[in-house]
Structures are given as C-alpha cells and as structure tokens.
Amino acid sequence: MFTGLVEQIGTIDLLERRDDGLSLRIACALHPYELGESIAVDGACLTVKAFEEGFFDADASLETLDKTNLGDREEGDRVHLERALSLGDRLGGHLVTGHVDGVGRLVEKAPSGDYVRATFEAPTRLVPFLAPKGSITANGVSLTVNTVAGTRFDVMLVPYTLEETTFHEMASETRVNL
C-alpha cells in the first residue's frame, strides 16, 4: 500500500525492451533498499530486483505495460517514486494499492492564480468511480477531484505539488496512470 505522496522524483537511466516486458534502472536516492521491496513508479507498484547506492532495477511485465503508461517511457524520463507503507506510517494522502486501474490523458492545464487547474480524461469504465471531492491518483500523486463532466475530471494543482512533481513539465495528451 502507498499514500500517493511522492517521496522523490527519479530518472530512468536505463530501459531495456524485451519480448516479455521491459527492465528499468531508476536513478534516485531512496536507499537503503531491500531486494523484493515494492516501489510505486508513477503509481505502478514495481519490485526491486537489484540495487546499488543511487539506483534500483525493476521489471515491468507485458501485463503491466498493457495496464500502465510505463511502455511510453524512455531513458531520461523523470518518474514519481514512493516506497510502500509500513504499519504505523502516517497516511497523508489516501490509500493507494499501486495497481493502476486505467490510463487516462491530460487534456489541458490552465493557470488559476498560484494554482493550475488540470483536466484529465479517464477511460469510460472508470467514470462510475469518479466523484467530486473524491480521491484519485494520477501518475501516483494523490489528488482531489474537483468536478466531473462525462469522462473528464479536473483537479487543482497547488504550488507545492507543481514544484515537487513532474506535472509542471507535462504536456497536453500525456498519458497518465489512474
């Protein structure tokens, strides 16, 4: 389980595409690691298979690539990282499984004072689960839904979220894990 509060932004240093999925090397400073621990990478729970100080390696199966945006990734891309919760940890975001329910897309971002209103489009099958003032994660970030209109919903990105995530660099049409 995760909270949707990004601990760090990592960089994909190495990405090896294979017939059965892909292997990732993510540079970051989350150490010390444990083999087999779970780390949410843009909201998708991946298992640490190897590590050294400054990076960890993980695999994404074809199933993971089919259900997430990880197959869109390239070397040099920045990703949100969060370690799995331990019993007794504070829950500052909301409970997040790390199992991506669908891939949506960023429709637009519009400034609103110091904030940015971000509008996303969700897959139709996820619409029944969207509710104003409900929680959602986009690329692993815990957000509060403001409004829902058909398959679209919007959130307000506060200055802290804009500074501490990759949302400020995200362009329209970017696919996001929901």
User: What domains, with CATH codes, occur in the chain?
Assistant: 8-83 (2.40.30.20), 103-177 (2.40.30.20)
pLDDT at 88 over 90: no
Q: What was the pLDDT predicted at 89?
A: 82
The number of residues in the chain equals: 178
Locate 94 and state its tokens.
């909301």
3-state helix, strand, coil in the chain (%, to 5): 15, 45, 40
Report the candidate in 89, 60, 70, 68 with the shortest Cα–Cα distance to residue 1. Answer: 89
Residue pLDDT, tens place only, 40-56: 999 999 999 999 999 99
Query: 8 pairs with which residues across the strands?
Result: 81
Q: What is the average pLDDT value for the chain, to the nearest integer?
A: 95
Is 90 exceeded by the pLDDT of residue 157? Answer: yes
Alpha-carbon span 97 to 78, nearest angstrom: 21
User: Count of alpha carbons within 13 Å of 75, Cβ hemisphere only?
Assistant: 7
pLDDT of 171 reads: 96
Which H or E element spans position 67? Answer: helix 62-67
Report the DSSP pairing between strands 78-83 and 152-157: unpaired
